[in-house]
Structures are given as structure tokens and as C-alpha cells.
Structure 1
Amino acid sequence: MSRVSRAVVTILLLAFITAIRLPYIANSPYEYDSWRQSDTESIALNFIEHRMNIFFPQLNYDGPLPNYVQLEFQMTTWLIAWLYRWFGHDYALARAVPIGFFVMSAYFLLLIARRYVTDRTAWTAVLLYGIMPVTILYSRAIMPESAALCCMLGAYWLFVKGVEESKRGLVVLSGVFMALAIAEKIPAVFTGIPLIAVAVQAYKHRLFVRTELWIFAAIALGLPFLYFQWLSTVAEFPFVTGIATKHIWPHLLESFRSNEALEFFRTNLPSTFTWCGIGLFVIGLLCLDWRRHWSLGVWAIAMLLELAVIVATIRFDYYLILTAPVAALLGAQALARIGRWRVGKAAAAAVILAIGCQSYAIAVPLLQGQQTVLMQQAAWVQRYTPKNALVVVGTDDPSLLNASRRIGWRTGSLLPDDPVKELNAFIADGARYFIPLQGHIDGDDGRLAAYLNERFQRIEIPGGYSIYKLQ
């Protein structure tokens, strides 16, 4: 194919990947993973309304502002905030940011794939990457996953190109991309393992005397470390440090063997990659030409290690997304082998169609789901409470707080064993309203509801909602 024809195919493929993410682009964050999506969007809104500084992200809980939080580097929310400031509050603008990052990541994957396989197989890899359920769902979610993928794959391509073509500047630039990837999602650090394999293959015994590799490592690991360390000094909620010290390190070598982890993978791997996608990954790994593509095999093993060490402990399905690029690459190679059979091309097309149909069946019900009750109640909260009033929501999930665009607390966040004492502590700190989620209070055995009905004025709202005026 001519260079122009190749460019046209690439553009059409990326356009297709973009197009299948446009339906439901105007959805609110109150769908699947509403806690994570609404938290992310609330940070963008707080940038606009309180402090437009990317190094000071703020959540709406727990307590009055500033609720600085130790989370990922806020590239996604920072861009969303600027789009909101320029064009107004529109959820389609918020979703356009992760979609844009994802399409860029798909292009980086194409560039990586072309260094291993033919153009046709590289395009197949990008197609598989684009139609997996996990990428369809979380590439348009208001979350940092797409930005992490973009930076991770950008780092991989720049590093390989820099090493193979002896361009030291690209290796150093790769370090910047890797730093951003790790700052977005710390498990992206596992992508460094295949990059070590690339360097070993290229430099062998001269590995440790290459200055650009030391600079790469210093940037890739040093900048995220400094960012999270600094943020922990100002953040009221050290989420990143807390997750590592409380959940990952204590169970580092045993989580993958637990019944909870096995059940998680049994349930979530098919729903994130489809059975056909899993089968292609396994075939591709088993049939891999290790002499030619051993860094690709190391990449696959590194991401399997990430599943065993990190995902088996955290057990959030969106953590599986970092495995999608290498799964797509190996899956495309498996399809290329199938395509050599007598009826191979038809069989390969049938497999791709099956993955697409399974992805459609998995993703569409989630894309169509909106928590209308929660959004209706949030509208009433906005109507019946002043904007600057501190409120308490009767759930551990802050989605109602975020949807109401109010600042305050979540039930059970301070004294979960004594909800009455906890409520009085919130009141002492300035809480003015208590809001059950359509009459429900998480973890309440009846004591807190009775205390509220006995002591405080209840504002009745049509639809079975209620708001308690605390002071």
C-alpha cells in the first residue's frame, strides 16, 4: 500500500474508534462507577469555583473546604475545567477529554505495533483495542484511565524508537511520558519492565553506562515520587499513600491466591475483555516468537504480574485496562495466524465480530443507565439548601453530595460505630442539613433515623425525599 493509502486506513480506523464512543457522550457521571466519575468531575468544578491550580485538587468531602486530596496528577480534570470555563458546564465536554486521550493512545499503539508486525496486524491490534468492553467503558468515563494509557503507550513508543535509532533525546522524552503515566496510575510502572528488556537487548553489557537510561529512570520514577510526596504534605486525604500502606504492601505476595481475587478475575475478566479476547491473548502469548519479539512477551508477563500484585488486591475492574494494549497486540498476532488457514480470513473476521457483539451487549446497558432518582434528589437539594451550606449525606458514596454540588460529610466517615455522636460532631463543625438517599441511611440500625425525627425539623419534598434541618 502507498503511504497515502496507509494514512487513510489509519484515519478511518481512528475515526471509527472515536465514533463508537460518541453515543451517550452527554451522560452525567451518575451511571456506572458514579463515585469515581463524579469525584473526578467535582475536582474540575472545584478548580473553577475555588482554586484553579493543578497541584491543589479538592473533593467535596469530608468537611468544609479546602479538602485537598492526594490523587493522580490532574491532567484530565485540569483540561475539563478549562473547557467548562470557556464553553460552559456540559458533560459532553468532560467526556471528550478522556476520549481524546484514548484515541491518542490508540495511535501510539499503532506505532508500537508496526515495530513488531505488519500494517494489517497493527491495524487489527488497534481495532481490538478499541472494541474491548473495558476500553469502551473507561475510555469515555470521566476518569484518569485514558490519560494514563496515552502517556504509558507514548513512553513505550518513544523509548523503543529512541533506543533502536540511537536518539537519546527521545529516551529522555520517554521518561517524561512515563512519569506522567505513573503519576496518573501508579501500576503503569510495570510497563518499565519491558522497557528494561528493550534496553538489555540493545545495549547488553553496556546497559549501565548509558547516561540517557539513568536520566530516563530519574525522571520516570523521581517526578511521580516527588509529586505524591509533596501532595501528601498538603492533602487532608492521602489516598495514594493510604492504599499502598493499608492494602497493597501487607498483602503483596498473597492476594492473588485469595478466594476473593479468584472470584474477581473469574467474574470480571470475561466482562472486560470477552472470552474471545481472552482466548486470543492466550493463543498470541503461547505462539509468540520469543527470539524476535521477546520484549513484547516480557510486556505481557509484566502486565500479568500487575494483575497478580495490584489488581488482585484492589479489585476494581477499571484497573484491568492497563493490560488492554498488550492483550490487543497479542490478540492481533493470534488472528494473523488464524488468517493463514484456508478459511482463516473469514474465521478471523468472525472472531472480531463476536468480540464486537459481546462488547455491545456488555457496554450498552451500562451506558444507558443513569441514576435518575439520585439526580432528581440532588436537584431538590440545590433548591432547598443554600449553595454554601455544609450538608451531611446518608451514604458512604459521595455521589449525592457531588450531584448536589454541595460540600460536607458522608455518614460513617468519622465515627461509623456511633452515628448519633458522629452527627453531633458534624453539627459542631458547621453541618446545617442532613440528607438521606430517598429515606435510606447507610448502616443505620434505626437509631440515627429516630434521633433525626425526634430532634430536627424535617422538610418534606415530593417523591418521598426529605431533608433535615440541623441548625
Structure 2
Amino acid sequence: MGTPQSMNMRLILPGPRWPWFPLLMGAALRLVNINAPIIGVHSWRQADTAALARNFQLNQLPIWLPQVDWGGVSSGYAETDFPLYSYGVGLLYQFFGLHEWLARGLSLLCSIGAIYLVQRLGSNLFGQAAGWWGGLFFAVLPLSVFYGRSVQPEALLMLSSALALERGLAYRQQGGKFNLVLMGLGLVIASLVKVLPLFWLGIPLLWLAWRRWPLWLAGVIALLATVAWYAHAHQLFLETGLSFGFWGSKASRYSWADLLNWRYWGDILLRFSLRGLAVLGLPLLVFGLWLPKQNEAEGMLPLGLVVVLIAGALAPSSSYIHEYYQLPLLLFACPLLGKAWQKLQLKSTKTGKRWLAVALGLMLVISFTVLQLDYWSKENPNKSDIWAQAQQIKITTPKNKPLISVTAGDPTLLYLSERKGWLVTPEAVNDELLGALKKEGASAVVGSWNKIENYSEFKDGPVKQKLAKLLGINKNQTNGNYITILK
């Protein structure tokens, strides 16, 4: 029987004897703001995803016809990623009604599944205790928590990718058709949901068992499925002109000159260190990489870290702006964190274990603080100008007529106000455009004098003055939001 002091230490530092603790901890954190509307961080991406789901349900559309809100009076069918997540949410809406907590709930379930698989992956590589800690880190780190319940396909991406990696390792160790099928299924889903997993997931899987031809066959199937979908999606773009901006001169993903700027890499490292690893996870990751390999298969983890960064560099502008491009790093980092933590525990004295408990507590405090300040606090509708404006639009404009939303590429206002319409930049607004869109049925021009997109400031200057004049608004009244009815 242990001393009271050692028993207290075991309470502070739980372990594999509570196998479900990472899942319960992850679920509890992801339930925060489960009822939040589509506002806050990356609301533009969440609004597009939620709009696809809502349109699937309301218009009874098949999965191959994703429909956005910003198609004006066109069909609205757009070139998008494969909308498996949105379609799944649409099915939930069909059975249970249009409630956004259902979308967040689906993300939560996917994320809990990913925690379980990350825990298994670490256990198969480093032992049960290290796997448990890796699962716990994946459960509580800020990026994993937020995108594990946001209305985006990232949680599904993490689940399918974790399935591919965990079953890929099992296929290497044991063989078996069932392992191969599940690994291939994970790879196909991940590659359809986002293109880049073909690279950052495919390479570690090929490294695991590159001499086995069935693995190559799974990769070919994933490639063909992805090509087939994007060929179809591009045909939708050619018909409607609507796209999420994957290719062509209008795409804003490929400013490769950014890769030569030290600030590009420094900002990504700083952001991932804070939001991805809660600061203290960074030295822990370095220690995990430094430790001698316990088995050859472990090499998939540092390889995965490298290829995720390279994949982000293939679309540097998007990777720099959107932090969820760094989210897959956690799939490869968390098992290494678990390995490092378990090694520290085994080598530490009683005093050292106390310091480990302090470090773990500090890491959790940092994680919860980041979640509160950077994410949760921005999802309060009572403090959201765009939420208030959307409610006003519902009252003052007819539901069956489209709007002109002067929010550039941000569809949040259209989604929240439950309207269709056009997204335009302030620079594009002129008499000709207003007249043409009015003839097509536009009922009002809406927007904000403070922001263009909800994360981009609308600065004072000639553009703002010109827009105020066109809308018949005194330039001294250009504060807050505006809803200008077209007569």
C-alpha cells in the first residue's frame, strides 16, 4: 500500500488505469458552447459548411450538388471539397430539425473517435501508458478542442486520417484484409474531404509498408476518387462560376514568395506552439523527437510532421491565414508527446514528479486560457454585431428576395440572416452593379462600416466615402452596420 504522499501523486497524475479519461475529458471540453451560432473564429468557413448542410436538407439535394448561399439567383451549385460532412449534417437536420448543435455534435463524435485512435496509435508504438498520455494531450490541446466541435469538416478529417494511420500501422504489424480496407477507407475519406491528405497522409502510409502492393492499390483508389470528385466539382464551377477558389488566377492560396520570408515560418511556429501545443508541448515534442527510437515504425511520426509542413507550403497563403492547416500536425505530434511524458515520469524522482504535475497543470491552464480568449469568448451572440445585424435583416427584408452583402468573400451575414444573395467587395459597388442586381431581385444592400470580412477592418478612405454616397448615407454616419433597402 502506498504512502498518502504517493497516493496523492497518483491522483494528480492519472494514467492508463482510467482508459476512458481522455475521451471523457475531450467530450467535456468540446461540449462548451455546443449551442453557439455560427459566429466567432473562422465563421466564414463554418457558415459555408453549415449553408451546404442547410441547403441539402431544405432543397433535398443529392451529395453531388453542393449549394452555397452566395450564388445570387443562380442554382448556387459550387465547386467545393467533397461535402460528406455537410451532407451528414443535412441528414441529421432531416430527422431532428435544423439545429446547429447537431452539426457541432457530429464534429464532437468524430473528434472523440480521433482521440481514441490517436491513443491506440501511441499504445501500439510506445506502450499503453505513453498512448494514454498522447490521447490525453490530443483531447485537451486548443486546436484539437476547437476544431473538434466547429461546424467544419476538420473533425471528420482528423477521424479518417487517424483511422488510416492506426490501421496502417496494424497492417504493417499484422497484415490482414480488414486492416487494409479500414486504412484505405480512412485515406479515401480524408483525401476527398481535403486534397492535401493525399500527400501528408499518403507518404507516411507508404513508408509504413511500401513493399506491399495492396497499399499502393489503396493509394491509387484514393487518387482516382479524388480526381473524379474534383473533375465533377470543376464542371459545376464552369456552369455557375461559383467556387471555393481551388485553381485559376482568382485563387489566393499560392503566394509561394511567402516561403522565403522568415516571418511566414516564424508566425506559423509561434501560432502552433501556442494554440497547437499550449507552449509547454513544444519542448516536450522536441524531447520526444530526440529520444532514441523504440521501433522502426515510429519513423512515421517525424516524417508526418515534415510532410504536413511541406503540404502547407504547397498552398502557403491558405496555410498562413488558416490555422487548421496545421491541425494535422497533432496526429503525429501527440504520440511523441505521450512517449516523452512517459519517459519523464519513469526517470523522475518524487520531487521531479511533483514538478511534472505542476507542468501538466500549467499546460492545462494555458490551453483553457487560449480556448477562452481566442475561441469561446467570441461565440457569445449577445456581444456579436454581425449576429445582431442578421436578426435585423430578418425583420426588415423579405425572405424570398436576395441581398447584396458587401462582405467580400465572407458568407457569415447571409447565412445568419437566412438569405441568399451576392458577395461583393466595397470597391466593386457602383450604380451599374446596384441597378443590375436590383433587376435580378436584390432587395437590400447590407454590410458593416467597421469591417469588410468579419476579420478584416474597413478603413476610412475614398472607398468608404464612395460607398456611403452610393447608398445615400452621410459620411459622418459611417459607423456600425447598415441595411439599405433598394427602392
Instruction: Give CA-to-partner distance per residue, 1:294-313, whole Å, 9 cap, x none.
Output: 23332233234334444565
Change (3 A) 1:291 1:48: closer
Amino acid of the structure 2 residue aligned with 1:381: I
Correspondence for 1:457:
none
Q: Does 1:400 align with 2:409?
A: no
Is the contact between residue 123 and residue 129 of structure 2 (CA under 8 Å) also seen in structure 1? no
Correspondence for 1:286:
290
Amino acid of the structure 2 residue aligned with 1:269: F
Which residue, 409, 419, 434 being the options, matches 1:423?
Answer: 434
Determine the C-alpha separation between the residues in 2 that align with 1:7 and 1:424.
67
Q: Give the alignment of 1:34-433 within 5 angstroms.
A: 34-189=43-198, 190-200=200-210, 207=211, 210-235=212-237, 236-239=241-244, 241-242=246-247, 246-247=251-252, 251=256, 254-272=257-275, 273-289=277-293, 292=296, 293-310=298-315, 314-315=319-320, 316-339=322-345, 340-342=347-349, 343-365=351-373, 366-369=375-378, 370=380, 372-396=384-408, 397-412=410-425, 416-417=427-428, 419-433=430-444
* Bigger shift: residues 65-74 or 376-385: 65-74
Change (3 A) 1:37 1:118: same
| Uncovered stretches (5+) of structure 2, i.e. residues with no partner | 1-14, 453-457
- Residue 276 of structure 1: how far off its partner (Å): 0.6
Tell me the TM-score normalized by structure 1: 0.87
Tell me the TM-score normalized by structure 2: 0.84
Correspondence for 1:3:
none
Q: How many residues align?
A: 448
Instruction: Give CA-to-partner distance per residue, 1:140-195, whole Å, 9 cap, x none.
Output: 11111100000011111222212321213422432221011011122222121111
- Residue 283 of structure 1: how far off its partner (Å): 1.4
Is the contact between residue 259 and residue 313 of structure 2 (CA under 8 Å) also seen in structure 1? yes
Is the contact between residue 389 and residue 432 of structure 1 (CA under 8 Å) also seen in structure 2? yes
- Residue 7 of structure 1: how far off its partner (Å): 9.0
Instruction: Give CA-to-partner distance per residue, 1:357-415, whole Å, 9 cap, x none.
Output: 101111113212235321122112111211110111222222111110101112228xx
Change (3 A) 1:290 1:232: farther
Is the contact between residue 152 and residue 177 of structure 1 (CA under 8 Å) also seen in structure 2? yes
Amino acid of the structure 2 residue aligned with 1:118: G
| Uncovered stretches (5+) of structure 1, i.e. residues with no partner | 1-5, 201-206, 455-459
Instruction: Give CA-to-partner distance per residue, 1:78-107, whole Å, 9 cap, x none.
Output: 222222222222222121011110001111
* Bigger shift: residues 323-332 or 74-83: 74-83
SS in 1 for 2:218: helix
Determine the C-alpha separation between the residues in 2 that align with 1:8 and 1:84.
39
Is the contact between residue 304 and residue 329 of structure 2 (CA under 8 Å) also seen in structure 1? no
* Bigger shift: residues 294-303 or 172-181: 294-303
Is the contact between residue 140 and residue 364 of structure 2 (CA under 8 Å) also seen in structure 1? yes
Root-mean-square deviation (CA), in Å?
2.8
SS in 1 for 2:209: helix
- Residue 130 of structure 1: how far off its partner (Å): 1.0
Is the contact between residue 394 and residue 410 of structure 1 (CA under 8 Å) also seen in structure 2? yes
SS in 2 for 1:434: strand
Change (3 A) 1:224 1:23: same
- Residue 427 of structure 1: how far off its partner (Å): 2.4
Identity of aligned residues (%): 21
Change (3 A) 1:464 1:330: closer
- Residue 218 of structure 1: how far off its partner (Å): 1.5
Q: Give the alignment of 1:1-16 within 5 angstroms.
A: 9-16=18-25
Correspondence for 1:469:
485
Determine the C-alpha separation between the residues in 1 that align with 2:483 and 2:281.
48
SS in 2 for 1:280: helix
- Residue 420 of structure 1: how far off its partner (Å): 3.6
SS in 2 for 1:10: coil
Change (3 A) 1:240 1:186: farther
Is the contact between residue 252 and residue 317 of structure 2 (CA under 8 Å) also seen in structure 1? no
